[in-house]
Structure 1
Amino acid sequence: MTSTRGRIAALLGAVAMVAGATVATPAVAAPAAPGRHDGISGQAPCPEAPEFICGTLTVPLDHGGATPGTLGLEVAVTGNSRAPKGDLLFLTGGPGQPGVPAIRRIAGKLAPVLKDYRLVMFDQRGTGRGALRCPGLQEDMGSSDLAVPRKRSIADCAAALGPNARYYSTADTVADIDLLRRALGARRLTIDGVSYGTIVAERYALAHPAHVARLVLDSVAPPQGFDPLDLAALPATARILRAACQATGCTTDPAADLAATVRKYGNGAQILSALTGYEFIDPDYGAVPEILHEAAAGRPAKLLEFFDLVHREVDSASAEELSQGLHSATLCADSRFPWGTTDTPVAGRAAALERTRQALTAEQTWPYDAATATGLGSLLVCLDWPREPVPPTPPAHRELPDVPVLLLGGDRDLGTPYEWLYQTAELAHDPRIVIVPGAAHSVQNRAANPAGRQAVYDFLLE
């Protein structure tokens, strides 16, 4: 998921908030002089990045019209309003990450294509300065979607958001994007999504196929959304740790040691959360084999230090950086759980989850256990989330529109393992697949190997 798929570090790097203004990391290359765009109010140079134009897109809270109210979504664009290839919409992850604070950084990463495209980024509803705020949940989970929060934090967040939480689903963001497209005057969009942004991009393409030119999907999740049990990431951990071990010359079997550690301490969910965060520090997982080997032997001190390190260095985030309120509202509205959807009565959910735990096999969960799959943070948030109507999700095998699709992944990515990429590729008519060796999550932004970025440049400029 984002976070730990959704963590802000996954995509944006360090982003500071100073006196209410967003400050992005320095650009690699500045885009052309800014152009104008119609349908977006308050257009002016971005306060902390004046080479871009910022403004506000007003959208209805409820696209169905039953509940009154509007939301103001911040938008930022580069120059080149007459770009020959049109608008390139870059979608950040989470759910919960804003887009506007990253405009300078992403423009730097995509500099070779900006002579042909106008780059567009926006703060999806409930993110950035309009973040949904749940202080307890933010403290408990930070930028992780796997950390286990306190029940009180879940209840307080649901109460604070109230019945309007239902209007922060991916379907609502897809409707916002089509209003943004119209405001930009674009007939079609080229969309580049990362992590949760790939789900949004896929859902937009399914809902509005005539308005998509091409798709870049980086760190791919399928259009049906993240699996709350994480049954791709659990077995992928063995593959990833063993490959990293081989690359670094370690002499142990980290997968076997992980299995022994989970059996000994019953802390699989905490380990998975920490490993999914640590890939942003070191995609080689260099310290992990020794940590797991010692823990398996009954010496957990280094493992406990490892948990503290990841929480301190990766998983801390403010609501402006990654809103846990929005994250929870979206996942609870979107996901399909062992008990069904969030439209299922709360009273029967725990029993359904327990039945699922008992039915899971070692083959599905190894080197973890069934308790890991049913004990992950975002699943537990939605276990106790109030009952609400939910939007439909696309059928599992519905194909993407017949447009060029580039699917980009790293072979060390635990947050969105490449098993999901290949699953999603089956929905594309002529998928182009690039797996970058040694890369973890968010290939375009973070991989040391430039092959992924070059593939994007070639794909967008062909």
Structure 2
Amino acid sequence: MRTTSSRGAVALLLAAAGAAAIGSAPAAAAEDRGGARIALRRCAPRDGSDRTRCGTVAVPLDRSGAVPGAVRLRVRVVPSRTRRASGTVIALAGGPGQAATPLAPAMAEILGAVARSRRVVTFDQRGTGRSGRLACAALDRARTNRAITAAVGDCARRIGPRRVAYTSSASVDDIEAVRAALGVERVALYAVSYGTKVAVSYAARYPHRVSRLVLDSVVPPEGSDPFMRSTIVSMRRVLRAICKGGACRFTRDPAADLHAVGRRLARGPIRGVRYDGRGRGRRVSVTQARLFSLLLAGDFDPLTRAALPAALSAAARGDAAPLARLVGQPSGEAGLDDRHDSHALFIATTCEDGGVPWPTGTPVEQRPGAFARELAAVPAAELAPFGHATLRALGIDYCRTWPESPIEQPPVAPLPDVPALLLAGEEDVRTPREDAAALAARLPRATLVTVPHTGHSVLGAETGRCAGRALRRFFGGGRVRDCRSGGRRLLDVVRPLPSRFGALRPASGTPGRAGRTVTAVAATFGAIASDLMSEIYARLLAGDFGVLSGEPVRSGGLRGGSVELNGKGFVLRRYSAVPGVTISGTIRVDLDRGALRVGGRSAARGTLRFGPRAVTGRLGGRAVRIPVGALGSATLSSAVAAPAIPAPSALAAAARERARALAPDGAPTLPAASFPGLPTAPEPAAVDR
């Protein structure tokens, strides 16, 4: 039961082989030997830059005939760039519940060279997008476990007998209908997350129709373990992967920190405060369930992954502020797009497919007791550092009010003997490498590639070229190698800030409280840079592109106050990153002019003035001089230029396409090569240990 985010680059899917070209005429048609036919016309007739073609394929709602009706599957085709396509790619979306056609051009860009000579075909899974999207308003509004449980039962009643038609098995036969309507003998499948389950099931049912499989972020064909044991086991490995190469010298073992925090949370919540962009504090309660959700959100959000080791290390040593800030921030994981995707379809498919935490066929009224027994039977060691109560709090039994329906049986072994490339993000806990390795061992001709520095949806998220190179070699018949290196990390691991003013070492040449205050000021400027960069990146990931046109960017401080970056400069209002030290004032964008007031109960108070080469002033009556470089000025100034720093083209392409799909008519979309890669904040001040 993995979800795939619909924001930006993290929810993308597809692959290629075997078909005829799509012509450049306004309409084109394909026909197979059985007479099935699809007419393809321009998706956007008034947009000359949109080369994609759209059409529909009508399929039975229920192929058993028990429930009458039909579904018109929306199909979108991205033509190859060559005169004649050498193959066809069918892309399968994640979710379940994500509509694929809005992302078709971004999918083609993610495939890169593979898509240049092959046409890329997507279609909205039945119940999503323009393929008869299912909608249940109460489910869309539900935010608590209790509300979700009630909404699930209500949604089932509203859908009625049709709910049996929205299984993965039905989607498998829909792929076959689309293939036949396109008039191609064989296709390659490229799928991400939940789509990999459908792809493997299709290849098992129609092996003679599949030339190749590319499975990105693997969900087992039987579906995910409802108790998420492979996810929990992988968390320790992923934290160590984030810290490899000496990236986390502040801790001996981030996995041990996770366990220490988990044990602490078993006794009760950790409480802290998160400050927003206007300096307003909001109390945050960190529980085991919220920590679990944070680790899961990191699959999609490199900001969260970069900050996790330091936050866990601080919490394990008694400083709750960094972890409370992470838990309290808006999630980096996007939900479904309400215009195209479907929460109702997610529930219908998940509950009908049988991925539930009780035995198949359990009556509705017996499910609470059955769930309790099944959960109690899971050894505590398999859930550590979380407990049985955490899984109950996560609401993994949300299908308990869904009426009993026929349950799809998983594909039987042996699985199809077709070439298969499996891609796993080294830092993905949602669909961990362990699940991909288990499936690779069952496929006769499988190659598993693990990509470093990458979370969920490998081809859409990798910062290097390893996965893309593996994809090209796989289609070209060359030898595919695992990734020993996968480019540099998009965001360097965040280093912890001092938790006590008294632990700071005085700056060289300035003893006592004044020297410690200088050290605190330097650490604070590193935090300001990191905070602003994180806010810019988070806004872009959320589809808010106003930052690219100069809208102000605001961030709260770790310990209080706020900072704003606008067209004139940096405005600090009692910004605090080190306990007992606040900074207020304004600095010009070019950093050559500005005045700051240093205050707080621990600081040597005074005023600092910026000059071209140094910051000078008096703290606690003592004259101080701080070289601009010591304040991380290069990092700070880079906050202004960050939107011009290109990130992986796949990220930018997906963000542009999502923006185009969601933006109102006439609204600007993300320009090319403007997704930011974030610079690294300077090393925080030295701390006496």
CA distance in 1, matches of 2:367, 2:318: 36
Instruction: Give the corresponding residue for 1:408.
Output: 423
Instruction: Give the corresponding residue for 1:57.
Output: 57
Instruction: Give the corresponding residue for 2:98.
Output: 97
Deviation per CA, 1:323-365: give whole Å up to 9, x if none: 2111111111113434223x42011111111112222223211
Deviation per CA, 1:211-247: give whole Å up to 9, x if none: 1111001111111111111110011111111221345
What's the secondary structure of 1:286's corresponding residue?
Answer: helix
Instruction: Give the corresponding residue for 1:255.
Output: 258
> If the length of structure 2 is used for normalisation, what is the TM-score?
0.59
> Superposition pairs for residues 217-256 of structure 1, below 5 Å?
217-246=215-244, 248-252=247-251, 253=254, 254-256=257-259
Output the amino acid matched with 2:444: H
Q: 1:301 to 1:336 in 2, by over 3 A?
A: same
The structure richer in helix per residue is: 1
Higher alpha-carbon deviation: 168-177 or 65-74: 65-74
Query: Shift of the alpha carbon at 1:139?
Result: 3.4
Q: 1:258 to 1:32 in 2, by over 3 A?
A: farther
Output the amino acid matched with 1:347: E
CA distance in 1, matches of 2:85, 2:67: 40
CA distance in 2, matches of 1:222, 1:92: 15
Structure 1 contact 140–149 (Cα < 8 Å) conserved: yes
Instruction: Give the corresponding residue for 1:20.
Output: none
In the alignment, is residue 334 of structure 1 matched against residue 353 of structure 2?
A: yes
Output the amino acid matched with 1:126: G
Q: 1:261 to 1:204 in 2, by over 3 A?
A: farther
Q: 1:53 to 1:261 in 2, by over 3 A?
A: farther
Q: 1:340 to 1:214 in 2, by over 3 A?
A: same
Instruction: Give the corresponding residue for 1:73.
Output: 73
Output the amino acid matched with 1:255: L
> Superposition pairs for residues 82-231 of structure 1, below 5 Å?
83=84, 85-129=86-130, 130-140=132-142, 150-231=148-229
CA distance in 1, matches of 2:51, 2:306: 40
Output the amino acid matched with 2:356: F
> Superposition pairs for residues 360-375 of structure 1, below 5 Å?
360-375=378-393
Instruction: Give the corresponding residue for 1:45.
Output: 42
CA distance in 1, matches of 2:438, 2:145: 26
Instruction: Give the corresponding residue for 2:371.
Output: 353
CA distance in 2, matches of 1:255, 1:405: 35
Q: 1:10 to 1:229 in 2, by over 3 A?
A: farther
Structure 1 contact 244–286 (Cα < 8 Å) conserved: yes
CA distance in 1, matches of 2:407, 2:377: 27
Output the amino acid matched with 2:410: T
Query: Shift of the alpha carbon at 1:32?
Result: 8.2
> Superposition pairs for residues 255-274 of structure 1, below 5 Å?
255-265=258-268, 267-274=287-294
Output the amino acid matched with 1:368: F
What's the secondary structure of 2:52's corresponding residue?
Answer: strand
Paired residues, number: 435
Q: 1:215 to 1:177 in 2, by over 3 A?
A: same
Structure 1 contact 34–53 (Cα < 8 Å) conserved: no
Higher alpha-carbon deviation: 150-159 or 76-85: 76-85
CA distance in 1, matches of 2:330, 2:158: 29
CA distance in 2, matches of 1:11, 1:195: 13
Deviation per CA, 1:62-92: give whole Å up to 9, x if none: 0112211111111111224985542111111
CA distance in 1, matches of 2:237, 2:304: 12
Alignment match of 1:380 (pick from 397, 401, 414): 397
Q: 1:92 to 1:407 in 2, by over 3 A?
A: same
Q: 1:224 to 1:447 in 2, by over 3 A?
A: same
Deviation per CA, 1:169-227: give whole Å up to 9, x if none: 10000011111110011111110111111101000011111111110011111111111
Q: 1:352 to 1:440 in 2, by over 3 A?
A: same
**Rg larger for:** 2
Query: Shift of the alpha carbon at 1:452?
Result: 0.7
Structure 2 contact 10–456 (Cα < 8 Å) conserved: no
CA distance in 2, matches of 1:171, 1:221: 15
CA distance in 1, matches of 2:73, 2:22: 24
Q: 1:388 to 1:101 in 2, by over 3 A?
A: same
Q: 1:165 to 1:84 in 2, by over 3 A?
A: same
Query: Shift of the alpha carbon at 1:259?
Result: 1.9
> Superposition pairs for residues 6-17 of structure 1, below 5 Å?
6-9=4-7, 11=9
Structure 2 contact 297–304 (Cα < 8 Å) conserved: no
Higher alpha-carbon deviation: 416-425 or 353-362: 353-362
Q: 1:233 to 1:297 in 2, by over 3 A?
A: same
Q: 1:34 to 1:348 in 2, by over 3 A?
A: farther
Query: Shift of the alpha carbon at 1:399?
Result: 2.3
Instruction: Give the corresponding residue for 1:23.
Output: none
Instruction: Give the corresponding residue for 2:495.
Output: none
CA distance in 2, matches of 1:102, 1:321: 11
Structure 1 contact 350–383 (Cα < 8 Å) conserved: yes
Q: 1:374 to 1:457 in 2, by over 3 A?
A: farther
Higher alpha-carbon deviation: 66-75 or 272-281: 272-281
Structure 2 contact 164–405 (Cα < 8 Å) conserved: yes
Instruction: Give the corresponding residue for 1:24.
Output: none
Give me the identity figure in percent.
Answer: 34
Instruction: Give the corresponding residue for 2:657.
Output: none
Query: Shift of the alpha carbon at 1:394?
Result: 2.3
CA distance in 2, matches of 1:351, 1:11: 40
Q: Give structure 1 stretches of 5+ with no counterpart.
A: 15-30
Structure 2 contact 212–418 (Cα < 8 Å) conserved: yes
Q: Give structure 2 stretches of 5+ with no counterpart.
A: 13-20, 31-35, 270-286, 478-689
Q: 1:308 to 1:162 in 2, by over 3 A?
A: farther
Instruction: Give the corresponding residue for 1:26.
Output: none
Output the amino acid matched with 2:431: T
Instruction: Give the corresponding residue for 1:459.
Output: 474
Q: 1:95 to 1:182 in 2, by over 3 A?
A: same
CA distance in 2, matches of 1:211, 1:148: 44
Structure 1 contact 40–183 (Cα < 8 Å) conserved: yes
Higher alpha-carbon deviation: 211-220 or 150-159: 150-159
Q: 1:192 to 1:348 in 2, by over 3 A?
A: same
CA distance in 2, matches of 1:265, 1:285: 24
CA distance in 2, matches of 1:180, 1:358: 44
Alignment match of 1:435 (pick from 440, 444, 450): 450
Instruction: Give the corresponding residue for 1:18.
Output: none
